[in-house]
Structure 1
Amino acid sequence: MAARKNSKAVSVTMVRKLNSTPGAVYAAWTEPSLVARWLAPGADAVTSVTMDVRKGGRYRIEGRHGDGSLYSFSGTYLDLAVDHRVAMSWVYDGPVHALKSGASIVVAEIRPLGSDLTELTLTHEKLSERDEAEIYRVSWSECMGKLENVAADLPHSRKHFDEQRATDFYSDSQREMQDRFKTRALADRLEAVLVHDHLSASDAAFIACQNMFFIATADAYGQPNCSYKGGARGFVTVVDERTVAFPDYNGNGMHLSVGNINETGKVGLLFIDFERQARMRVLGTATSVQRDPLLARYPGAQIIVRVNIESVFSNCPRYVHKMRLVEESAFVPESGAEPPVPDWKKLNTVADVLPDEDKKHAGNDIDISKTLNKG
């Protein structure tokens, strides 16, 4: 007789006392490099971790089962209380059929019991089958054993842990490459000389002269994107020594950069002056605002992106090609002037999906390469 399916949701709960502080346990759940060390049971191994640790942020953990098959867990952070609670949705994608029942919920409750002693209560809720619950019970038990070792190795306070992490400008992988090529001392010296957390007067003046830059963003799964942003000279506003802002003009409607900014917020800006053969990087956290007061400064702008600066540094100009500006783009919006219509809006292939304000431009052109200046 076939086994009858369980009609009620099943949950798994386990409690562990860990010889570590709540801050260390919370860090083990929210730091990608630490998660990779424990969130894989038995012979399984984590191969990639991407985490946007904020309420509504996404995460994805990829791994390899002991038999070599690939799998992933992904979901959304439902609740985060620093040093107290982590709650997230949980979806398995892999070859184990019993675990592919849809979304469930994982909750980690963290409670201090005394000096360097913490109680962790793990609940895996909304599982659809008892077989699934039993697999997770064994898996979580093995993971919790690893978690205890990871948390015990961390500094005794989250403040200490955060300060320790913040003291190094370079990631573990970057340090590994520096050690491989024996450039750690050089990297440390360049950081000390070049890297700072605010714009100097010369940095601000350099940005004020630029009419383009490249922006790097990433989505919650770690998929990177690099985009070119252009405008009139000085279109990037230096708001103060720790903030820059720039307009997001009408584009092709894909919103790749701003979409990523809304998802993860992390950005890297690369300014290059090809005439002077100079370049500068700005790294930070960005937000996009539709009703920003700076919109009045930029005719045709849809959104203002503000970047809170975390680090600024110039790079060696050795490989920057020397080029001169012939003319700025005729499409850069100007006050009181209607910009020309880009040829791609006249393509027959997009005529039926253009926004209402652009439908008047729809045409029957069919040469996509030509509209992209590649034909």
Structure 2
Amino acid sequence: MPLAFADIAFTPKVRAEQERRGSSKAYGKFLSDERWGGDRLGPEEAAFLSERDGFFQASVSESGWPYVQFRGGTPGFIKILDDQTIAYADYRGNRQYISAGNLVHSNRLSIIAMDYPNQRRLKLWGEVELIDPETDPQLLGQLHAGKETIERIVKIRLSAFDWNCPRHIPRRYTLEELEPELAVLRKRLSELEAENAQLKRTL
């Protein structure tokens, strides 16, 4: 049985392009019976997703156009329900409902979750169930802790995942991630300002 992501992503046209570009042999092993799995989250994947404060989500419209949207929240907003199921609360936004409409049309989606400081990237493929929050209060309780209006629960049954190459991922940091270093700099600046003031008084 091929590795799950390769079975989904390596279509005949993709394989033809790999052949043309010289990477077919290297990636062909992912389609062999010697490689399998990649459809159940392990501890590393679960921890990675739980620590994220956002991800990019792709869906496809009835006209065949892909649509990518950023979904954000505090770390932990992605809930790991089991090794093949994740969920998040979908809060009210600009009310265009493009992703929601697309997912009613086709429940397949892809996700890219980024860890910029450590140059890590996890890709996921799955099938979505859109749930009215009033119909599943138990799941709602796991997902919703704020005062914002939640319009739906997005429950994703994992089909495949793949750790992507770190090449070309820029290193970026949030203010929260930079805060320990900034605190040291502020402290040192305060000390230097105090020393400077003392020197001025003695001149």
CA contact (8 A) 1:217 1:261 kept: yes
- Give the TM-score normalised by the residue count of structure 1: 0.41
* Residues 45-56 of structure 1 mapped to structure 2, 5 A cutoff: none
Rate the CA distance shift 1:284–1:236 in 2: closer, same or farther, 3 A. same
Match of residue 107 from structure 1:
none
- Who wins on radius of gyration, i.e. which is larger? 1
User: 1:184 aligned to 2:29?
Assistant: no
Indicate yes or no: 2:45 matched with 1:203: yes
Q: How does 1:142-291 map to 2 (within 5 A)?
A: 168-169=7-8, 170-189=10-29, 196-291=38-133
Partner of 1:326: 175
The CA RMSD measured in Å over matched residues stands at 2.4
**In 2, Cα distance between equivalents of 1:325 and 1:195:** 34
Structure with a larger share of its residues in helix? 2
User: Residues 198 and 316 from structure 1, CA distance in 2 versus in 1: closer, same or farther, beyond 3 angstroms?
Assistant: same
AA aligned to 1:187 is: Y
Report the secondary structure of 1:317's partner residue.
coil
CA–CA distance in 1 between the matches of 2:45 and 2:28?
21
Counterpart amino acid of residue 185 in structure 1: K
Are 2:160 and 1:311 equivalent residues in the alignment?
A: yes
8 A Cα contact 1:211 1:234, kept in partner: yes
The DSSP-based 3-state class of the residue aligned with 2:175 is coil
Gap regions ≥5 residues in structure 2: 178-203
How much identity, in percent, do the aligned residues show?
27
SS at match of 1:276: coil
* 1:157 match: none
Q: Is the 1:277–1:321 Cα contact (8 Å) retained in structure 2?
A: yes
SS in 2 for 1:302: strand
The amino acid that maps onto 1:294 is: L
Instruction: Give the whole-Å Cα distance in 1 for the aligned partners of 2:37 and 2:165.
Output: 13
Higher fraction of strand: 1
> Is the contact made by 1:278 and 1:317 (CA closer than 8 Å) also made in structure 2?
yes
Structure 2 match to 1:332: none
SS at match of 1:202: helix
Gaps of 5+ in 1: 1-162, 329-375
> Could you say if the C-alpha distance between residues 216 and 194 of structure 1 is closer, same or farther in structure 2, counting changes exceeding 3 Å?
farther
Looking at both structures, which has the greater relative contact order when contacts are Cα pairs under 8 Å and sequence separation is at least 6? 2
TM-score by length of 2: 0.74
Matched, 1:294 2:139: yes
Equivalents in 2 of 1:181, 1:319: separation in Å? 20
Which amino acid in 2 is paired with 1:315?
Answer: N
| CA distance in 2 between partners of 1:307 and 1:173 (Å) | 27
For residue 188 of structure 1, report the CA deviation from its aligned partner: 2.6
In the TM superposition, what are the counterparts of 1:334-345 in structure 2 within 5 Å? none
- Kept in 2: contact 1:195–1:313 (CA 8 A): no
- In the superposition, relative to structure 1, how do residues 263 and 272 fare at CA in structure 2: closer, same or farther (>3 Å)? same
1:173 partner SS: helix
